[in-house]
Amino acid sequence: RQSAQASRSSAVDEEGQPHDDGVFAALRRIRRIVADVEERSPVGHLRDARVWLDDLTKAACQLDSLEVGQRPEARAERRALLQRIELASSAIERRQSAQAGRSSAVDDEEASTFSC
């Protein structure tokens, strides 16, 4: 009985998730990357936008190359992560566009204020 319990406890990782052939570990790693960008991008400085978009692109590429086989849970998780990546990328791009519009408006206002 104790050996069965020991083998079950060794069959889970540090987060209590069952070990697999690496697919679920890869999905968790990518989920953390996406969550980090989702958390930082709405409030972080836009100078980091390229890094965020690069992180999201790398995560999407990792998901594209991940062999999930016929595991419905893994396929659903991959699909959900790709959707989150798309939403996060769009939100970052909207922030950049809004900032560019504000900067342009300020430039126009300054030009009209200081025209001779």
Which tens digit of pLDDT belongs to each residue from 51-109?
999 999 999 999 999 999 899 999 999 999 999 999 999 999 999 999 888 766 555 55
Return the number of other C-beta atoms located less than 10 Å from residue 76's C-beta: 11
H helices of 41-71, in order, are: 49-65
Cα 40–43–48 angle (5° rounding)? 60
Q: What pLDDT does residue 7 have?
A: 45
Q: What pLDDT does residue 17 have?
A: 53
Distance CA 83, CA 69 (A): 19
Indicate whether this model's pTM tops 0.75: no
Q: What pLDDT does residue 101 have?
A: 80
Q: Answer yes or no: is pLDDT of 5 > 50.
A: no
Q: What pLDDT does residue 6 have?
A: 45
Q: What pLDDT does residue 102 have?
A: 76
Distance CA 89, CA 56 (A): 7
What's the maximum distance between 2 C-alpha atoms anywhere in the chain?
90
Q: What is the dihedral of CA 81, 85, 86, 91, to 10 degrees?
A: 140
Contacts of 53 (CB under 8 A, 6+ apart): 89, 92, 93
End-to-end CA distance of the chain: 90
